[in-house]
Structure 1
Amino acid sequence: MSTDNLIKMANQIAQYFASQPDQEQAVLSVRNHLQMFWAPSMRKELLAWQTEHQGADLHPLVQAAVQGAGWEA
């Protein structure tokens, strides 16, 4: 899958959870969704891209979710 598609999908997930009043819970919700429904290769690709580009183009909830996830690039 292309990185552009991963970014688009991750941002859509974050937009869905952004309406939660507790931002910490929103970050956890994004992280849990990525953990449960994305293949490890997709998560690793997203993490590698975020590391290389300092999260440019990623919703802040995605950035926070990926940073604290403990996934290996």
Structure 2
Amino acid sequence: MSTENLIKMVNQIAQYFSGQPDHAEAVLGVRNHLQMFWTPGMRKELLAWQTEHHGENLHPLAQEAVSGAGWEA
């Protein structure tokens, strides 16, 4: 899957969770969704891109969810 598609998808997920009244729960919702439904390869690719580009073009909730995830590849 292309990185562009991953960014588009994670931004859509973050937009969905942005309606949560509690910010921490919204970040956790994004993080949990990625952990449950994305393959390790997808998460690894997104994390590498986020690290290289400092979260550029990512929804703020997605940035927080990815940077604080502590995923194992």
Q: Do both share a fold (TM > 0.5)?
A: yes
Aligned residues: 73
Q: Deviations over 1:15-70 (max 9, x none)?
A: 00000000100000000000000000000000000000000000000000011110
In structure 2, stretches of 5+ residues that fail to align are none
Identity level (%): 78
Shift of 1:71: 1.9
Q: Secondary structure at the match of 2:8?
A: helix
Q: CA RMSD in A?
A: 0.9
TM-score, structure 2 normalization: 0.96
In structure 1, stretches of 5+ residues that fail to align are none
Give the partner amino acid of 2:66.
V
